[in-house]
């Protein structure tokens, strides 16, 4: 239990410092350290990450690094996805969910190492923060918000390292504001994901309270330290650690029994999979068309 408390403090610390990353550790900690069922671990993770994010947002908001309008819009788009992910999890076994978690963790770790933010340290308390943008790419934010929310609800990942680059690239927020705003989105997604799990999973309230309390304490410390420590160094160091966690989770979860269970699950829902594949193919063609038009327009403008 002592190890779990220490790891819970670390989870909150990462949320406060980086605007995400805590849930990457929460689920493996609960499954492999406390030996909990994966679905119960996901629910506790949603409670821990959601509560810690709300607390961690306070110091960022005081320095003006929370764009409330953009955050609420992105979060509202993600909440239906998170709720859907929580309901969808009822149809997967715990082993399959852990494999999905491992894959998401692996992709997240790679993304963290590839991110090259323009600014990696937060200004001091007395400095004037950059203003939040007045215009937002609403359709793109809706799509990305729903997708991140779906991952949040399904495997208990808060999505901070998906939300931060999305807020930076799509919404146009500076890195400082993206980190603070992502905490609001994480809390909203966690609440919706918890609603999706509520009807088919029950949890130990006392254990959840202890872990959440430790994570909240860590998030407060992380919020205070966030203006003194380079987020670029933290991101890269933690990215390497996340890759190690992903490797361990996949090594533990990828078994013949799990693969057989997954194949049987896919065979029972082949029509749904074909529908999803058709939708994905349509979106791919749509994005390809957008790229072709942008490419042709840029060549045309260059020739003129």
* Token pair for 185: 């989105």
Decide if 194 contacts 47 (C-beta within 8 A): yes
What pLDDT score does 120 carry?
40
Decide if 18 contacts 231 (C-beta within 8 A): yes
Instruction: For 103-112, give one letter per residue: b (16+ CB within 10 A) or e.
Output: ebbbebbebb
243 exposure class (CB count in 10 Å sphere: 0-12, 13-18, 19+): middle
What pLDDT score does 235 carry?
67
Beta strands in the chain (DSSP E): none
Dihedral-angle region of residue 19 (phi above 0 means left; psi in -120 to 50 means alpha; beta otherwise)? left
End-to-end CA distance of the chain: 68
pLDDT 10s per residue in the chain (304 long)? 777 788 778 777 776 776 566 666 777 878 888 888 888 888 888 888 788 788 878 888 888 888 888 888 888 888 888 888 878 877 777 777 788 878 877 877 787 677 654 444 444 444 444 447 656 666 777 777 888 788 777 776 656 666 776 777 667 777 778 888 888 888 888 888 788 777 777 777 888 888 888 888 887 887 777 667 666 776 677 677 778 878 888 888 777 777 777 777 777 777 767 776 787 787 777 777 767 766 655 555 555 5
Q: What share of the chain is helix, strand, coil (3-state, %, to 5)?
A: 80, 0, 20
Decide if 105 contacts 21 (C-beta within 8 A): no
What pLDDT score does 119 carry?
42
Which pTM does this prediction carry? 0.64
What pLDDT score does 95 carry?
76
Query: In degrees rounded to 5, what are phi and psi of residue 37?
Result: -65, 140
| Number of neighbours of residue 162 by Cβ within 10 angstroms | 22
Q: Where along the chain do its domains lie? A: 2-267, 269-304
């Amino acid at each position: 239990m002592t190890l779990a408390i220490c790891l819970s403090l670390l989870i909150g610390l990462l949320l406060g410092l980086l605007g995400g990353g805590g849930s990457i550790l929460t689920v493996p900690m609960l499954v492999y350290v406390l030996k909990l069922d994966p679905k119960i671990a996901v629910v506790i993770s949603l409670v821990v990450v959601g509560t810690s994010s709300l607390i961690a947002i306070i110091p960022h908001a005081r320095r003006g690094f929370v764009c409330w309008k953009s955050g609420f819009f992105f979060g509202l788009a993600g909440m239906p996805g998170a709720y859907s992910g929580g309901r969808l999890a009822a149809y997967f076994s715990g082993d399959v969910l852990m494999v999905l978690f491992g894959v998401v963790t692996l992709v997240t770790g790679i993304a963290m190492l590839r991110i090259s933010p323009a600014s990696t340290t937060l200004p001091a308390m007395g400095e004037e923060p950059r203003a939040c943008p007045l215009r937002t790419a609403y359709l793109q934010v809706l799509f990305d918000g729903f997708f991140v929310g779906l991952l949040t609800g399904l495997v208990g990942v808060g999505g901070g390292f998906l939300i931060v680059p999305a807020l930076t690239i799509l919404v146009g927020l500076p890195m400082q504001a993206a980190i603070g705003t992502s905490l609001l989105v994480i809390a909203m997604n966690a609440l919706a994901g918890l609603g999706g799990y509520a009807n088919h999973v029950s949890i130990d309230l006392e254990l959840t309270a202890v872990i959440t309390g430790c994570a909240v304490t860590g998030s407060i410390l992380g919020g205070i330290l966030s203006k003194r420590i380079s987020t670029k160094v933290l991101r890269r160091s933690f990215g390497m650690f996340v890759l190690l966690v992903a490797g361990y989770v996949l090594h533990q979860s990828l078994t013949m029994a799990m693969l057989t269970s997954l194949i049987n699950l896919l065979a029972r829902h082949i029509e749904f999979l074909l529908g999803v594949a058709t939708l994905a193919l349509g979106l791919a063609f749509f994005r390809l068309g957008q790229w072709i038009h942008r490419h042709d327009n840029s060549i045309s403008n260059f020739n003129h």
